[in-house]
Chains A and B, each alone.
Chain A
Amino acid sequence: MKSIFAFVGKVSLTACLGFSAMGSALAADQTIGALFPLSGPNAVYGDVFMAGSDLAVEHVNADNLLNGKLSIAYEDSQGLPQPAVIGMTKLVNVTNVPYTLSAFTGVSKAISTIGQRNSVVAVNGGGVGPDLAQLGEYFWNVIPLVNLEVRAAVPYLVKERDIKRIVLVYIDDPFGNSILEELESELEKAGGELIDTLSVPTTAQQFSGVAAKVRAAKADAVYVASYGAQQIQIVKQLRDNGVDSLLVTYSGYAVPDAIALPESEGMIFTGQSVDFTSEDPVTQRFVKDFTAKHNREPNAYNVNYYNATRLFALLAQALEAEGKDVTGENLLKKRLETPSFDLVGGTVSFQENGTLLFPIKINTLKAGKTETLKTVTFN
C-alpha cells in the first residue's frame, strides 16, 4: 500500500515540474489541441486522423511558417461525448489552446458549447452528421457533411442502377438518425422507396437477428450507416447470414480494416473527392510525402486533418505578420476576412455556415481496390 502512495507522490511531483518547465518554454511556440479516439473501439480512426495532422505539423515546422514551433496536444475522446468534454475542458483551461481538431458527430456536438463559451475554434474533419453545420461560428468543418453524400448516392442508385427498394441499418445516435432523415427525403425525391429501417444500439455486436430481418424485407440494396468496428461487423454478419443484395455506405467506411475485409467486395461507398493529380504544390507535396511515409495512398481523412492543421498555420501566420495574438477570436476574424485558402485538393473557400464544399465521388470495391464510378459536383 505504502508503495502506491509513494508512487502517486512521485507522479504528482513530476507533474508539477512538468508544468513549470512548460510555462517558460512556450514563448513563441503554438500548440493546438486535438480530440481524437485514441482508445476504445474507434481507435482505428485516431491513427488515420493523426497521420494527416502530424504530417501537416512536420511541413509547417519545416517551412518555418510560424515564428515558433507548432505542436499538437492530443486528448483521447474515445469517439464518445463524455470523455471528449473532459478532454476539451483540459485543452481549453490548462493547455490554453486557441484551436482544436475534433472528430465524430457526437463528440463535436458535445464540445461545441465549450468552444463557443471560451472562444476556442473547433474544426471537424471526420464527423459527417449534418447538424455539424449548425454548431455556431466557432465550429468549422473541413469535410463535406453526409447529407451531401446521401444526395449524391441516392439519385445514382435509383436512376443509374435501377435500385428502388432500400433497407437502412443505422446506428441509433445523432449521426444514424440524420442519415435516416436524409435517406427518407432523398429517396422520395428520386422515386425510390425506403422499405424498412432497422436501428442498432451503439454497443451491439451481434447482428444475425438484424440480418434475418433484412433478408425478410427482400430489398434491392441495404444502406449501412454506422462507424468504427460496428460498421465492419454489420457488413460481415449481413454477408455471413445470407444477405446478398448490394450494400451501400458512406465515407466512414474508408478505413483500411474495412477495405481489407473480403465481405466488402462489391460494396458501394461515397466519399469526398480530392483530386490528388492536381498540379498545385500543396497537393503534390502532401501526396508525395504521405506516400513515402506511410507506403500507401492518402485517404480523405488524412487530407482533412492535414488541411485542418494547415488552416491553423495559415491563419496564425497571417495574425503573426500583423502582430496580433493568436487567439480563437482573432482566428475566426481572420478566417472570415480571407476569401480562400490553398489546401490539399486545390484552392477552397468556406460556405457561410463554416463548412467547406467538396465534390462527392461514388466508389466501389473491386478485388480489394477502390474504383470510382462517378463524381458528383454540387454548387
Chain B
Amino acid sequence: MLALQLAITGLQTGAIYALTAVGFSLIFGSTRIFHFSHGATFIIAAYLFYFVDVSGYGVIPAILAAASGAIVFGLLMYRFIYVPIQRDEGSFFTVFVASFGIGIVVQNVIGMVFGRGYVAVQTSLSKSVELAEGLYVAPLAWIAVLCATVFFAALWYFLRFSTTGMALRALSDNPELVRVFGLNPKFISACAFAIGSLLVVPAAIISGATQGLNPAMGHHVMLISLAATIVGGIGSVPGTLIAGLVLGLAESLALLYVESQWTEAVTFAILFLFILLRPSGLLGRSATH
C-alpha cells in the first residue's frame, strides 16, 4: 500500500515536472536558447496567482493574472535579453549566465515584494481524502493529472495541425524553411516562449497549493526540467513528457529504499548515466557528436 501511495504522490509530482519540463524543452528545442530563468517564470506565476487570489478577486482572475504574468515575463526575456545577446554571438554560455542572473534578480525581487518567508495557500483541495485503507489522495493530484493531460493534448494538436506549430517544430532544424512558409523566425521563437511559459502556469499554481510558496522554489523546478529535457531527448516533446513523469515517480518511489535527502541525487544520477550511456535521450532524434 505504501508503494501505491508513493506512486500516486509521484504521479502528481511527475505531472508537475512534465508540465514545466515540456515548457523548457519546447523553448530550448526550437530556439536553442538555454532559458535557465524558466524557474523564475514558475515563481512569478505562483506568486501572482496567490496574490490576486488572497486579494479577493477570485480564482479565475488569479489564473489569468498568473498566465499573463508568465507569458509576459517569457516574452520580455526573449525580446530584451536573448535577442540582444544573439544579435552578437549567441554562445550557449553567454545566454546561460545572463539567464541565471535574471533568475537571481526575480527571486530577490519577489522576496522583497511578497516577503522572503514561507506562504501557505489555504485551500481545501490540498486536503487528502482516504480512498482505501491507508491510501490518501488529495483532489489536487487529480487536478494535476487532468491539467497535464489537457495541456499536452492541446499542445500536441497545436504542434501537429497549426502552421505556427509546424513552423515551431521546423525552427531548430532549419530557420530558412520557416521563412519559406512565409513566417518570421523571430515571431515563431516568441511563440515558443509564450507557449513554454504558459505551460508552467498550472504546475506553479498546483505546487503552490500543495507545498506553499517560497521565492527559492524555482531553482529545484528548473534543475528537474533540465534533467527531464536531456533524459527525454533534446527537441522531443513526448520524450520530455515521459521523462518528467518518470523523474517524479522515481523521486517519490525512491523513498521506499532511501532517506529523502537522497532523492535529488537519484534524479541526477539517472541524468548522469543517461548522458554517458544514451545521450540522445529516451526519444531523442539526433545521436551524439
Residues of chain A touching chain B, judged by Cβ–Cβ distance below 8 Å, are 39-41, 43-44, 172, 198-201, 203-210, 212-213, 215-216, 228-230, 232-233, 236-237, 240-242, 257, 261-262
Chain A residues whose CB sits within 8 angstroms of the CB of B1 once the complex forms: 216
**26 residue pairs bridging A and B, Cβ less than 8 Å apart:** A41-B214, A41-B216, A43-B116, A172-B261, A200-B261, A201-B264, A204-B261, A205-B211, A205-B217, A205-B220, A208-B12, A208-B210, A209-B263, A210-B255, A212-B2, A212-B6, A212-B9, A212-B136, A212-B255, A228-B117, A228-B118, A232-B212, A240-B126, A240-B210, A241-B136, A242-B130
Query: CB of B252 within 8 A of chain A?
Result: yes
Q: Which A residues lie within 8 Å of B120 (CB)?
A: 232-233, 236, 261
> A206 to chain B: which residues have CB within 8 Å?
13, 210-211
Q: What residue in chain B is nearest A212 (Cβ atoms)?
A: B5
Residues of A within 8 Å of B9, CB to CB, are: 208-209, 212
Does B128 belong to the interface (CB within 8 Å)? yes
Residue of B nearest to A217 (CB): B2
List CB contacts (< 8 Å) of B208-224 with chain A: 210-212, 214, 216-217, 220
CA A292 to CA B118, docked complex, whole Å: 27
Cβ of B138 under 8 Å from chain A: yes
CB neighbours of A201 from chain B (8 A): 260-261, 264
B210 / chain A contacts, CB cutoff of 8 Å:
206, 208, 237, 240
B160 interface contact, C-beta 8 A: no
Task: Provide the residues of chain B in CB contact with A232, threshold 8 Å.
Answer: 118, 120, 212
Could you tell me the distance between the alpha carbons of A311 and B169 in the complex, rounded to whole angstroms?
Answer: 69
The answer to whether the Cβ of B174 comes within 8 Å of any Cβ in the partner chain is no
Whether the Cβ atoms of B136 and A43 lie closer than 8 Å is no
User: Smallest CB-CB separation from B212: which chain A residue?
Assistant: A233
Cα(A103)–Cα(B130), bound, Å: 41
Most A-side CB within 10 Å, residue of B9, B116, B134? B116
Q: How far is the CA of A201 from the CA of B5 in the complex (A)?
A: 21
The chain B residue with its CB closest to the CB of A239 is: B127
Interface centre among B130, B220, B259, B263 (most CB of A within 10 A): B259
Contact across chains for B260 and A215 when beta carbons are under 8 A apart: no
Check A240/B214 contact, CB under 8 A, given A200-B261, A212-B5, A212-B9: no
User: Known contacts A210-B255, A236-B120: does B128 contact A242 (CB below 8 Å)?
Assistant: yes
Return B154 CB to nearest CB of chain A, in Å: 27
Residues of chain B within 8 A (CB-CB) of A216 are: 1-2, 5, 134
Contact of B116 among A39, A198, A203, A241 (CB under 8 A): A39
- Beyond A43-B116, A200-B261, A216-B134, whether A205 also contacts B212 by CB under 8 A is yes
CB 8 Å contact bits of B89-126 with A (1 = contact, 0 = none): 00000000000000000001001000111101010001
Residues of A within 8 A of B212 (CB): 205, 229, 232-233, 236
- Shortest distance from the beta carbon of B180 to any chain A beta carbon, whole Å: 39
User: Is the pair B122, A39 in contact by a Cβ cutoff of 8 Å?
Assistant: no
Partner of A240, one of B5, B127, B220: B127
CB pair A205 B214 closer than 8 Å: yes
Chain A residues with Cβ below 8 Å from B126 are 240
B238 CB, nearest partner CB in chain A, Å: 25
Closest A-chain residue to B260, C-beta based?
A: A200
Closest to B262 in A: A201
Question: Closest approach, in angstroms, between the C-beta of B241 and any C-beta of chain A?
Answer: 20
Among B5, B10, B12, chain A packs the most CB atoms within 10 A around the CB of B5
Collect the chain B residues with CB atoms within 8 Å of residue A240's CB: 126-128, 138, 210
- Neighbouring A residues of B116 by C-beta, 8 Å: 39-41, 43
Smallest CB–CB gap between A255 and chain B, Å? 9
Interface on B for A, CB 8 Å cutoff? 1-2, 5-6, 9-10, 12-13, 108, 111, 115-118, 120, 122, 126-128, 130, 134, 136, 138, 210-212, 214, 216-217, 220, 251-252, 255, 259-261, 263-264
Chain A residues whose CB sits within 8 angstroms of the CB of B259 once the complex forms: 172, 198-199
Residue of A nearest to B256 (CB): A213
Query: Are A213 and B214 also in contact (CB < 8 A) when A205-B220, A240-B128, A242-B130 are?
Result: no
Task: Report B-chain residues with C-beta under 8 Å of the C-beta of A205.
Answer: 211-212, 214, 217, 220
Top 5 nearest A-B pairs (CB, nearest first) are: A229-B118, A201-B261, A242-B136, A43-B116, A44-B117
Knowing A44-B117, A201-B261, A242-B128, say if A237 contacts B211 (CB, 8 Å).
yes
B258 shortest CB reach to chain A, Å: 10
Q: CA separation between A262 and B126, bound complex, in Å?
A: 13
- Chain A residue nearest to B129 (CB atoms) is A242
User: Is A257 a contact of B127 with CB atoms below 8 Å?
Assistant: no
Contact indicator B260/A241 (Cβ below 8 Å): no
Residues on the B chain within 8 Å of A257, using CB? 117-118
Given contacts A205-B217, A216-B134, A241-B136, 8 further A-B contacts (CB under 8 A): A208-B9, A209-B252, A212-B9, A212-B136, A213-B255, A216-B1, A229-B212, A240-B210
Residues of B within 8 A of A229 (CB): 117-118, 212, 214
Min Cβ gap B212→A in Å is: 5
Alpha-carbon distance A205/B118, docked complex (angstroms) = 10
User: How far does the alpha carbon of A44 sit from the alpha carbon of B116 in the complex, in Å?
Assistant: 8
**Would B2 and A213 count as touching, CB distance under 8 A?**
yes
Among A198, A228, A233, which residue has its beta carbon within 8 angstroms of that of B260? Answer: A198
Q: Which residue in chain B gives the minimum CB-CB distance to A240?
A: B126
Please name all residues of chain B whose beta carbon is closer than 8 Å to the beta carbon of A172 when the two chains form the complex.
259, 261
For residue A237, which residue of chain B has the nearest CB? B211
Is B211's CB under 8 angstroms from A39's CB? Answer: no
Q: Is the CB of A199 within 8 A of B261?
A: yes
Given A39-B111, A200-B260, A233 and B118 contact (CB-CB distance below 8 Å): yes
Please state if A209 and B111 are interface contacts (CB–CB under 8 Å). no
Which A residues touch B136, using CB under 8 A?
212, 215, 241-242
* Residue ID in chain A nearest B1 by CB atoms: A216
